[in-house]
């Protein structure tokens, strides 16, 4: 849905004395000093923002989300399957080479898996191949592994450079599993607006009137406990937030504006003779940051939910649980294999493993 809102007054207050006709510009209260002053006071009423307050959703493991972005799950599965298949082919070729030449040490299938994994990670172990067929097979493996590795690293760096915190949106709230409640004041305003103007409820107002209404402390408590989105005006909530919660609890909350993704435009007449100059001036103002400072809302600077200075990119211990657990399990399995090899070689050759 696209809509255009035109908000403004006909003249500045300094032009009141220049009015020549008393009833030329309706309504009449605009033509008085009092009415003009009221307009100047109320011209920022559109900045009284409404929206949802909800708890910041728990983010999944950083390692799982970031390092898995270059490839999809299906592609990761295909790569695992292809790596296992290539290891089998290389092991068969090695057995064929030993059968023909009758030399070389049998490293087993595990060494071929190590070879394929090292090729994909660009850390290749020593290659012992005598026949040209095996050398060609390894060469093709290394070339394709380099292509896959290059694509993975470049895509990973692009995600790192262009990584953005998209946060929450109205669609995520409405289509998610959030329980939506509203404050009593908002529900009262919707009801009184319909009664005062003698009009029926719109479809959006009917949906809002069906929501559960709560007090501000009760709504914030429900937001803090679970997945609840509280609809209210920010001005009423900020004072309660600062008095009730500490800064750490406040920084766990996020706000989603009820009117989001509204684009601001500058309009000029078709006969405006300085279109190019106007466009160049706006671009320069945007480059130096003047335009952003002009259209920025003052109340956003005082928002208690602005915790950018408090958040630092730090790794937490829970982000390392999974890789550390996998590493410990692998080393335990390696220790068990070493003990088994020690027992086998000691019984058969009476010597330490790997000694011919």
pLDDT tens column, 323-339? 788 888 888 988 888 88
If one counts the domains in the chain, the total is 2
With a cut of 60, say whether residue 297 has pLDDT above it: no
- Residue 228: per-residue pLDDT: 86
- Which of the two residues, 305 and 270, has the higher pLDDT score? 270
Handedness of CA 65, 71, 73, 78 (dihedral sign): negative
In a domain, 251, yes or no: no
In a domain, 270, yes or no: no
Q: Of the ranges 7-11, 151-155, 255-259, which one carries the lowest mean pLDDT score?
A: 7-11
54, 229 contact by CB (below 8 A): yes
Higher pLDDT, 91 or 265: 91
On the question of a cis peptide bond just before residue 138, with omega within 30 degrees of 0, the verdict is no
d(CA 162, CA 138): 36
Q: Please report whether residue 261 resides in a domain.
A: no
Domain limits for position 339:
320-356
For residue 267, the model assigns a pLDDT of 66
Bridge partner residues of 212 (DSSP): 181
CB crowding 288-317: b at 16 or more within 10 Å, else e:
eeebeeeeeeeeeeeebbebeeeeeeeeee
Global pTM reads 0.45
Residue 71: inside a domain, yes or no?
A: no
Residues 6+ apart with CB under 8 A from 108: none
Q: Is residue 19 scored above 70 in pLDDT? A: no
Q: Is the pLDDT of residue 266 over 80?
A: no
Q: What are the start-end ranges of the E strands in 35-193?
A: 50-55, 179-183
Q: Is residue 326 part of a domain?
A: yes
The verdict on residue 153 lying in a domain is no
Whole-angstrom distance, CA of residue 205 vs CA of residue 37: 32
In sequence order, the 6+-apart residues with CB closer than 8 A to the CB of 240 are: 216, 217, 220
Distance CA 334, CA 64 (A): 25
Residue 340 lies in a domain: yes
What is the C-alpha separation between 59 and 318, in angstroms, rounded? 12
How many of the other CB atoms lie within 10 Å of CB of 214? Answer: 19
Mean pLDDT of the chain, nearest integer: 72
- Classify residue 144: in a domain, yes or no: no
Confidence of residue 85 (pLDDT cuts 50, 70, 90): very high
């Amino acid at each position: 849905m696209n809509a255009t809102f035109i908000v403004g007054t006909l003249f500045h207050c300094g032009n009141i004395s220049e009015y020549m006709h008393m009833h030329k510009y309706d309504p009449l209260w605009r033509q008085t000093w009092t009415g003009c002053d009221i307009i100047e006071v109320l011209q920022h009423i559109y900045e009284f923002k409404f929206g949802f307050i909800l708890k910041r959703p728990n983010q999944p493991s950083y390692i799982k989300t970031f390092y898995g972005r270059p490839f999809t799950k299906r592609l990761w599965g295909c790569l695992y399957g292809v790596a296992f298949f290539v290891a089998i082919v290389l092991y068969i070729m090695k057995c064929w080479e030993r059968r023909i030449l009758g030399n070389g040490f049998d490293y087993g299938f595990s060494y071929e898996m190590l070879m394929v994994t090292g090729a994909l990670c660009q850390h290749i172990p020593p290659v012992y191949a005598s026949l040209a067929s095996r050398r060609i097979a390894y060469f093709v493996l290394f070339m394709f592994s380099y292509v896959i590795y290059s694509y993975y690293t470049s895509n990973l760096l692009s995600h790192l450079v262009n990584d953005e915190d998209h946060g929450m949106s109205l669609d995520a709230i409405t289509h998610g599993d959030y329980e939506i409640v509203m404050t009593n004041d908002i529900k009262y305003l919707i009801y009184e607006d319909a009664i005062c103007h003698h009009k029926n409820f719109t479809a959006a107002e009917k949906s809002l009137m069906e929501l559960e209404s709560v007090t501000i402390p009760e709504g914030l408590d429900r937001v803090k406990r679970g997945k609840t989105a509280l609809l209210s005006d920010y001005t009423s909530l900020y004072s309660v937030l600062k008095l009730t919660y500490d800064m750490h609890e406040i920084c766990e909350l996020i706000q989603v504006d009820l009117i989001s993704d509204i684009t601001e435009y500058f309009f000029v007449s078709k006969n405006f003779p300085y279109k190019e100059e106007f466009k160049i001036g706006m671009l320069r103002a945007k480059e130096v940051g003047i335009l952003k400072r002009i259209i920025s809302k003052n109340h956003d600077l005082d928002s208690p939910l602005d915790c950018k200075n408090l958040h630092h990119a730090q790794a937490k211990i829970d982000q390392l649980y999974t890789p550390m657990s996998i590493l410990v399990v692998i080393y335990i399995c390696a220790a068990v294999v070493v003990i088994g090899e020690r027992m086998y070689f000691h019984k058969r050759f009476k010597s330490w493993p790997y000694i011919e």
